[in-house]
A = this chain, B = another copy of it.
Amino acid sequence: MFTTTVTPRFGDIDALGHINNTVLPVWFELARNPFFRMFQPDLKIELKTWSLIMAHIDFDFLHELTIQYDVEIRSSVSRIGSKSFTLVHEAWQNGKLCSKGEAVLVHYDFNTKQTTLIPEHIKQQLAEHLVS
Q: Determine if A45 and B14 form an interchain contact, defined as CB atoms under 8 angstroms apart.
A: yes
Question: Ordered nearest first, which 4 A-B pairs have the shortest CB separation?
Answer: A58-B58, A15-B45, A11-B20, A9-B30
Interface segment, A21-29, A75-83, A121-129?
A: A21-29
Q: Given A13-B14, A33-B9: A67 and B43 within 8 A (CB)? A: yes
A98 CB to closest chain B CB, in angstroms?
12
Q: Which residues of B contact A20 (CB under 8 A)?
A: 10-11
Given B16, B30, B42, B50, which contacts A50 in the complex, CB threshold below 8 Å? B16
A110 CB to closest chain B CB, in angstroms?
7
Q: Which residues of B contact A60 (CB under 8 A)?
A: 55-56
CA distance in complex: A9, B32 (Å): 8
Q: Given A15-B10, A56-B58: A45 and B67 within 8 A (CB)? A: yes
